[in-house]
Amino acid sequence: MSAPNLWRRLVAEFLGSAFLAAIVIGSGIAAQRLSPGDTGLELLENAAATAVGLFAIILMFGPVSGAHFNPVVSFADATLGGISWRDAAAYLPAQVAGCISGAVVANLMFGLDAVSISVKQRASGPHALSEVIATAGLLLVIFALARTGRAASAPAAVGAYIGAAYWFTSSTSFANPAITVGRMFSNTFAGIAPSSVPVFILAQVGGGIAGVFIIRFLYPALTPAQAAQIVVPHETDNGSGPEHDQHVSSDGR
């Protein structure tokens, strides 16, 4: 892959991850202020904004990088024959830095300190199980659609899945190590205490591994070209424009 094309993709992953964190955290702060003391309504507002925002940013950045915004998605894509391992490794710091930057921006947009470390403890057995299931389910949504010729539906499906997973998981479905790290930097409705982060990330990695095994079991007879058709067209290796094969999107939060 040429260096200019890789840099464009990394910038897209950084910006998309920053928007993702700003959407998740910013809408959480807004919900907390608009509906004080009503946790259910706050969660509904936060989930709705995240679902539609995720749909939009996948469409925004997918043609450049594939709109992963999530290291688990990137490494699953590499495992299943999509992007290279080198590119997946390069995506990771861009995604983490983007989510941290988005958290800082969200804090500033609501007049808070740029960095406020969260004290919200989330680590527990049920939360860890929820993250395993949420992350595995996210991969299944993405790759099942791609591998059955329905990739065009994936941006909406990913947004819908994450919106639903806010409610059917006790952890509210982070399903993304990068956003988990970013949410440490905002002591607000969407935050997570640093001491809870390792449990969440280990569970997300476990969910990613489980998801890859399930995908391989359910869709075993695919060619490498079919395996690479994930969500939205993105730039070719020489940086000349969108290619016909499609690579992975998204996120999770």
Mean pLDDT within 86-93: 97
CATH 1.20.1080.10 fits 3-247, yes or no: yes
Q: Where are the domains positioned within the chain? A: 3-247
Distant-in-sequence, close-in-space partners of 188: CB < 8 Å, separation ≥ 6: 25, 28, 29, 32, 107, 112, 116, 118
Instruction: Identify the pLDDT of residue 244.
Output: 35
What are the CA-CA distances from residue 142 to residues 12, 68, 131, 156 (Å)? 19, 10, 17, 11
Instruction: Identify the pLDDT of residue 4.
Output: 54
| % pLDDT > 70, the chain | 85
pLDDT digits (tens, 9 = 90+) for 129-143: 999 999 999 999 999
Rg (CA), the chain: 17
Token pair of 53 as six digits: 């925002």
Residue 117: what are its φ and ψ, rounded to 5°? -70, 130
Strand, coil or helix: 169 = coil
- Would the pLDDT of 242 be above 50? no
Residue 126: what are its φ and ψ, rounded to 5°? -60, -40
- Would the pLDDT of 88 be above 70? yes
Mean pLDDT within 28-33: 97
pLDDT digits (tens, 9 = 90+) for 149-176: 888 899 999 999 999 999 999 999 999 9
CA within 13 Å, CB half, 64: 20
Task: Give the span between the Cα atoms of 16 and 73, in whole angstroms.
Answer: 14
